[in-house]
Amino acid sequence: MKITSLTALQVLDSRGNPTVEADLTLEGGATGRALVPAGASTGEKEAVELRDNDPMRYGGKGVLHAVVNVEGEIAKALLGQDLADQADLDHRLIALDGTPNKSRLGANAILAVSMAYARALAAANGKPLYRQLTDQTSYVLPVPCLNVLNGGRHADNNVDFQEFMIASHNAPSFSESIRMSVETFHALKALLKQKGYYTGVGDEGGFAPNLKSNEEAVELLLEAIGHAGFRPGHDISLCLDPAASELYEAGEAGQPGRYRLFKSTGQCYTSEQFNELWVSWVNQYPIVLLEDGMGENDWPGWQLHTKSLGSKIELVGDDIFCTNPAILQAGIDQHIANSVLIKLNQIGTVTETLDTVHLAQRNHYNQFVSHRSGETEDTFVADLTVAIGAGHLKTGSGSRSERIAKFNQLLRIERELGSAGHFAGIKAFKNQ
Ligand SMILES: C=C(OP(=O)(O)O)C(=O)O
Ligand SMILES: [Mg+2]
């Protein structure tokens, strides 16, 4: 379908940094708008976000060049062209950019157009976005994984690991799962207050107190689950994203690298020791999913990690795969992880994101859909999760509207689907 107008605007994300919004109109008048999120603990092989690097404006983080690219070169190449479908549009964008990582036009410019086109097609076809992405008779509603305690690069506290999530899987529906989750979030706030801990929140809306240890973060979550009236492991389990790439220091001159708990004790671990830490946590606590337990440049460590835990819980590759089908294929070949994190802006088009999803599905890898730490009010990931039947997504906590927006969209989808929507429950998690 032909695009008749394409505009872009520099808007702000949840950290107050500029990001790209695109507005697109199709012949016939259907419109689509999309906003692109941004990461902080990014994988090295992510598609490149174009930033202006003008220190006098937004500390160098402006996206006016990306905006100009949408309204200039991209619009010129696309306006009035006969576009067969989403894949046709995305392949034209990839070819126009001409680089392997979208560094010329910017993945932020390209993705904004790609997502806006998907929305406009949905509007033109009179379909909800999830149905535009995949037309099915029934859909799976995901278990929401709420990042209720933040550390690492997402918070100015002394917790080394980035994300401590709760997954309310023993629920009859998505809406009941969300209720259980936010009740636990509120119980956690009361518990932190009672212990005299700080209740301010980090980038993803989870609490960000200084704690006595990283283990205490897990113990607080388990206690809060109990206080809210639920059984840890039975009703609500834990998911972790320690974002280990941020803790990994490469070894010099062929020496093995090591992991350092740089925010708390400074303690260092070899790859084997770090894997052992996760094995002991999984034995001790009701953890059903562990993302980026090892660093993106530690493939032997990841192999060991997968051997140790890959038949017990879900091991998700985020930084190591970057939602990139070629890298995921290499990971599958080398028996790394059993699940892939799905972040649209790591790869930069809707079509390539779906390519990664299909590759994972063909190889029995789970897909865990994710927000970014710098988010917007755009709810694309909610529809994407339902469209691909991923069964679980991570976004938000119990605060911050840019995250809650995704849950609210899923509540609308749940109502709209009625009996054609089924809550995923514990089976959403690999090996459960
Ligand atoms: C959501 C994450 O953080 P960021 O967006 O900062 O990469 C993550 O690491 O999974
Ligand atoms: Mg991650």
Task: Give me the interface pTM, i.e. the ipTM.
Answer: 0.99
- Ligand 2 centroid to Cα of residue 189, in Å, is 24
372 marked ligand binding residue: yes
For ligand 1, say whether the CB of 243 is within 6 Å of any of its atoms: yes
For ligand 1, say whether the CB of 275 is within 6 Å of any of its atoms: no
- Is the CB of residue 188 less than 8 Å from the CB of residue 194? no
CA torsion angle 21 26 32 36 (round to 10): -30
Report how far apart the first and last C-alpha atoms of the chain are (Å, whole number): 43
- The residue type found at 74 is I
Positive or negative, the Cα torsion across 290, 46, 159, 373? Answer: negative
Q: Determine the distance from the C-alpha atom of residue 362 to the mean position of all C-alpha atoms in its chain, rounded to a whole number.
A: 21
pLDDT tens, N- to C-terminus, the chain (432 residues): 999 999 999 999 999 999 999 999 999 999 999 999 999 999 999 999 999 999 999 999 999 999 999 999 999 999 999 999 999 999 999 999 999 999 999 999 999 999 999 999 999 999 999 999 999 999 999 999 999 999 999 999 999 999 999 999 999 999 999 999 999 999 999 999 999 999 999 999 999 999 999 999 999 999 999 999 999 999 999 999 999 999 999 988 878 899 999 999 999 999 999 999 999 999 999 999 999 999 999 999 999 999 999 999 999 999 999 999 999 999 999 999 999 999 999 999 999 999 999 999 999 999 999 999 999 999 999 999 999 999 999 998 889 999 999 999 999 999 999 999 999 999 999 999
Beta strands at 258-260 and 139-141: parallel, antiparallel or unpaired: unpaired
The Cα angle at residue 279 between residues 273 and 280, in degrees rounded to 5: 90
333 marked ligand binding residue: no
343 marked ligand binding residue: yes
For ligand 1, say whether the CB of 177 is within 6 Å of any of its atoms: no
Name residues whose C-beta falls within 8 Å of residue 143's C-beta, 6 or more positions apart in sequence. Answer: 167, 168, 169, 177, 391, 392, 423, 424, 425, 426, 428, 429
- The residue type found at 113 is V
Residues pairing with 241 in the sheet: 163
- Ligand nearest to C-alpha 343: 1
- Ligand 2 centroid to Cα of residue 54, in Å, is 29
Catalytically active residues, by annotation: 204, 343
For ligand 1, say whether the CB of 41 is within 6 Å of any of its atoms: yes
- Is the CB of residue 118 less than 8 Å from the CB of residue 86? yes
- Ligand 1 centroid to Cα of residue 137, in Å, is 33
